[in-house]
Structure 1
Amino acid sequence: MTKNKLLRMDNVGIVVESLDNAISFFTQIGLKLEGRTTIEGEWAGRVTGLGSQRVEIAMMVTPDGHSRLEISKFLTPPILSDHRTAPVNSLGYLRVMFAVEDIDEMVARLIKHGAQLVGEVVQYENAYRLCYIRGTEGLLIGLAEQLDNQ
């Protein structure tokens, strides 16, 4: 039997037009900016298959330090397609889900920063309250509040 060599999931990557707006939005959710830099060079293009590239990235981390979101702004080459406002049932990237303490407060705060509720906040059995929002640049974000029903 082969032993599983997977160690962890390091991060999820999202490409945006405005790194500053994305950092601000994800800071409102509760992530912390861990670092920001520009990546370029022949080695980077070999990893992505894009050839010569120049990308500004910001790494955001959750309060527990276990999950990261890598936000990228491609300076070169130019962006070829845009999937940000695709409906929930589209193929490919769907959404990032965040566990929150008070979903009503979080939704109200994010709406003040330009987010839009996709459907409504719903309760799943006695376990969770959930919703999807469209955040900065139309990115689909899930929020989940675990209910204390013990």
Structure 2
Amino acid sequence: MTIKRMDHVGVIVDDLAAAIAFFLELGMELVGEGAIEGSWLDDVVGLDEVRCEVAFLRTPGGHGQLELTKFNNPVATTAEPSAPANALGLRRIMFTVDDIEEVVARLRPHGAELVGQIAEYENTYRLCYLRGPENIIISLSEELT
């Protein structure tokens, strides 16, 4: 048996509208959004009486998807909201962009802040980490060759 594909990455957020706006500004496309609940959902996530709002966004070309989820019940919890880049667990989502400076400038009004600075790697890439909505670390890469 083999994997068919990686379908999507799921991110839990508290402000769904702000997270959607951020990723739309980044260049993703909203595929759909809505409320979900029911015993099937309780069974899947292992919680009782789950009520969520979800939004699916995809990258241009449709090769990658992101699921943003806001838990209305039970309310989402977090252990460390501003965890550093070297904390264990899922730490970042990386996107390749055409113009890293332009993308960072567009995302700043949506709350994005550089974690460090934009750096160049061996005359091949310009890279940076920035914090987006809910302190999600987004990594940007611009190919120089």
Report the equivalent of 2:30. 33
- Partner AA of 2:47 in structure 1: L
Report the equivalent of 1:73. 70
Aligned residue among 88, 98, 108 for 1:91: 88
- Partner AA of 1:68 in structure 2: Q
TM-score of the pair, normalised by structure 1: 0.92
Task: Using the TM superposition, give the Cα deviation of residue 81 of structure 1 relative to its aligned residue in structure 2, in angstroms.
Answer: 2.0
Separation in 1, partners of 2:72, 2:110: 26
Query: In the comparison of the two structures, how many residue pairs are matched?
Result: 145
Distance 1:82 1:33, change over 3 A: farther
- Partner AA of 1:94 in structure 2: R
Task: Using the TM superposition, give the Cα deviation of residue 82 of structure 1 relative to its aligned residue in structure 2, in angstroms.
Answer: 4.5
User: Residue 32 of structure 2 contacts residue 56 of structure 2 at CA under 8 Å; is this kept in 1?
Assistant: yes
Structure 1 unaligned blocks of 5 or more: none
Matched, 1:54 2:51: yes
- Partner AA of 2:125 in structure 1: Y
Give matches, 1:16-31, under 5 Å: 16-31=13-28
Structure 2 unaligned blocks of 5 or more: none
Any runs of at least 4 consecutive aligned residues in structure 1 with deviations exceeding 3 A, and if so which?
none
Deviations 1:40-78 (A, max 9, x none): 100111111112201100000001111000000001112
Separation in 2, partners of 1:101, 1:28: 14
Separation in 2, partners of 1:7, 1:146: 28
- Alignment RMSD: 1.1
Separation in 2, partners of 1:145, 1:100: 5
User: Residue 93 of structure 2 contacts residue 138 of structure 2 at CA under 8 Å; is this kept in 1?
Assistant: yes
Separation in 1, partners of 2:79, 2:13: 10
User: Residue 126 of structure 1 contacts residue 147 of structure 1 at CA under 8 Å; is this kept in 2?
Assistant: yes
Report the equivalent of 1:10. 7
Name the % identity.
48
Report which of the two structures shows the higher radius of gyration computed on alpha carbons. 1
- Partner AA of 1:19 in structure 2: L
Separation in 2, partners of 1:112, 1:81: 25
Report the equivalent of 1:142. 139
